[in-house]
Amino acid sequence: MEQTTLATNHDTADHMSAENKFDDDDYPAYTMGRAAEILGTTPGFLRSLDEAKLISPQRSAGGHRRYSRYQLRIAARAREIVDQGTPLDAACRIIILEDQLEEALRINAELRQDRT
């Protein structure tokens, strides 16, 4: 089963001002340890999300994973589903389908607005 990574990495992140980085949900501001602490999970859980290709954190110059707020929200949703007893691979698929549905609804709303 091929899965799509939800979180995108922007090449422009290094060129942003401090204010823009603060407001950017995609800016990789959190280390793995800090991300795990915020989520109340283990670094291993975050690694498993990377291995499942649900999220692909950026890497620091030293090769350490760096997570964005958007990725933390996805990881929190995955943890919520897994904590309810759903296997990780199924949780990842659920999140991908939820994301695709949200995008389809957004596009549908835009098309309806364009018609009026």
Q: What are the pLDDT digits (tens) for 45-95?
A: 999 999 999 999 999 899 999 999 999 999 999 999 999 999 999 999 999
| Beta-bridge partners for 66 | 31, 58
Q: pTM value?
A: 0.76
Question: At residue 13, does pLDDT exceed 50?
Answer: no
Assess whether pLDDT exceeds 80 at residue 21: no
Could you confirm whether domain 13-115 is CATH 1.10.1660.10? yes
d(CA 41, CA 32): 10
Average pLDDT, the chain: 87
The first and second tokens of residue 59, run together, are 């890497």
User: Where do the domains of the chain lie?
Assistant: 13-115
pLDDT of 1 over the 90 cut = no
